[in-house]
Amino acid sequence: MAKTSPAQFIQQVRQEAAKVTWPTRKETTISTGMVFLMVFLAAIFFFVVDQVMAWGVRVVFGLGG
């Protein structure tokens, strides 16, 4: 494999970066909103599952329920 000089490497990096299609502000905002929504839904889901499992453990060990 041929070695690449630092100057060639920088040139190649710039060429590849020029090919990147960056998202618009609207796309970024929508994606960020969706991430927050999914995190919120996952938190609610795991909270409910945790409460159900805690209730089940209390019932199994006779601690109330």
How many residues would you count in the chain?
65
Rounded CA separation 34/37 (Å): 5
Residue 12 and residue 4 in contact, taking contact as beta carbons nearer than 8 Å: yes
In a domain, 53, yes or no: yes
- pTM (two decimals): 0.65
Structural domain harbouring 14: 6-60
Instruction: Give the pLDDT confidence score for residue 1 in this predicted structure.
Output: 64
Instruction: Give the pLDDT confidence score for residue 64 in this predicted structure.
Output: 64
Instruction: Give the pLDDT confidence score for residue 3 in this predicted structure.
Output: 85
Q: Domain count for the chain, please give it.
A: 1
In a domain, 1, yes or no: no
In a domain, 33, yes or no: yes
Instruction: Give the pLDDT confidence score for residue 65 in this predicted structure.
Output: 53
- Which position has the token pair 């040139």? 11
4 Cβ contact list (under 8 Å, min separation 6): 12
pLDDT of 10-64, one tens digit each? Answer: 999 999 999 999 999 999 999 999 999 999 999 999 999 999 999 999 999 887 6
In a domain, 54, yes or no: yes
Rounded CA separation 38/31 (Å): 11
